[in-house]
Amino acid sequence: MTVDIALQEQLKALDIQILELLNQRARVIAQLPPCSAGQWDSYIVELQQTNTGTLSNEAVKRIWQSLNSNMVNTDDSERAHYLYEKSPNKWRTIVDLPNSASIGAGNFQIIAGPCAVESYEQLDAMAQVLSSYGVKILRGMAFKPRTSPYDFQGLGEEGLAIARQVADKYNMVLVSEILDASQIPMMYDYVDIFWVGSRNMHNSFLLRAVGEIDKPVILKRGFGATMKEWLMASEYILLGGNEDVILIERGIRTFNDWTRATLDISAVPLVKQHSHLPIVVDISHSAGRPDIATGLTAAAIASGADGLMVEVHPNPKQALSDAQQQLTPEQFADVVQTVARFQREPIAQL
């Protein structure tokens, strides 16, 4: 009986020491950048190699695996650093693009094109107009995530081939939406920038997959996502090693029904305050209408955004998707004029 009590006291004293060590450990971890599951597994193997005690290596593995899950789930206030956050070493990400354009370098970049590739003639006509205005980044959407399965779903790979041909003809960078990680090998040679749409922002499997490729990724905000959820989605991509992430604010759902969504313009200065990632404003899916495009363009510039994204169609009334919101070439000319009128020196970074 006496022996048992002595052992129990010994156990408690050891546990108190372990607890203190775990607290010290948590403080160290909070200062480190997150590591990938693979890095953590190698770390555990290194620990097992130093194990000379009573515990089996399997037990060591189980214990440190559970410590890792604690680390990942650690309270926000304990994690000092996320990869998307500004730090003295990483104040601003500049995404360099193949045709020597860039996003995030202080210039206001326009990404434009129709909602979807419908034919060679349609995209060619559009790209000709856009490139005559100096647009360098072309939308070439071939897979459309539509609300109704009966609506136009995009031309698929044929649409990508058209888009590549047209982009090359006008020396434009091609962006196109990816819906599933399995499409990466097929899409890789066609596109310059992979585009993760609003509906896929929560698809962590896709985010991890595009985090492993060596091409830039545009990440749209989910229409029901908080700032934190959106930035954590970018963390998935950055964690895979892909540093070229561009955020797009595309409007969130509110009770307002005069616009398709509500452009959350405050997202721009908030991203600039918290993150080094560039941010672009989608004036099409946020508004859902063409008649307020110039006002939203001015707002995007004033907010400090790195650019805007807009849908333009040679004949919007005939468009196979988003007919109600695409700009005519004439309306696009007004947007370009607005950019020229309001663009000032790059807004000082917060």
| Closer by beta carbon to Mn ion, 115 or else 336 | 115
What's the CA gap between 264 and 170, in Å, rounded? 33
Q: Which of 71, 111, 141, 327 binds ligand PEP (CB under 6 A)?
A: 141
Closest C-alpha among 183, 86, 322 to residue 309: 322
Q: How many residues bind ligand PEP (CB under 6 A)?
A: 8
What is the Cα–Cα distance from 213 to 81, expressed in whole angstroms? 23
Answer for which of 198, 242, 275, 326 binds ligand PEP (CB under 6 A) is: 198
Residue 140, helix vs strand vs coil: coil
**Which residues does 54 contact at the CB level (< 8 Å), separation at least 6?**
none
- The only residue of 190, 285, 306, 325 in contact with ligand PEP, by rule CB under 6 A: 285
Residue 324: CB minimum distance to Mn ion, A: 10
CB 293 within 8 A of CB 278: no
224 and 202 in contact (C-beta within 8 Å)? no
- The region of 31-39, 193-201, 295-303, 325-333 touching ligand PEP under the rule CB under 6 A is 193-201
Distance CA 298, CA 184 (A): 36
Q: Which of residues 130-169 bind Mn ion (CB under 5 A)?
A: none
Indicate whether 115 belongs to the interface with Mn ion (CB under 5 A): yes
Is residue 322 a contact point for Mn ion (CB under 5 A)?
A: yes
- CB count within 10 Å of CB 345 equals 6
**Secondary structure tally for the chain: helices H, strands E:** 11, 10
71, 29 in Cβ contact below 8 A? Answer: yes
Question: What gap in Å lies between CA 277 and CA 245, rounded to an integer?
Answer: 7
Residues 241-280: x where in contact with ligand PEP by CB under 6 A, - otherwise, as a string = ---------x------------------------------
Query: Does 246 interact with Mn ion (rule: CB under 5 A)?
Result: no
- The answer to whether the beta carbons of residues 252 and 221 sit under 8 Å apart is yes
Q: Which is nearer to Mn ion, 120 or 152 (CB)?
A: 152
String marking each residue 205-244 x if it binds ligand PEP according to CB under 6 A: ---------------x------------------------
Interaction partner, residue 155 (ligand PEP, Mn ion, none; CB < 5-8 Å by kind): none
Binding site for Mn ion (CB under 5 A): 115, 322
Binding site for ligand PEP (CB under 6 A): 141, 177, 197-199, 220, 250, 285
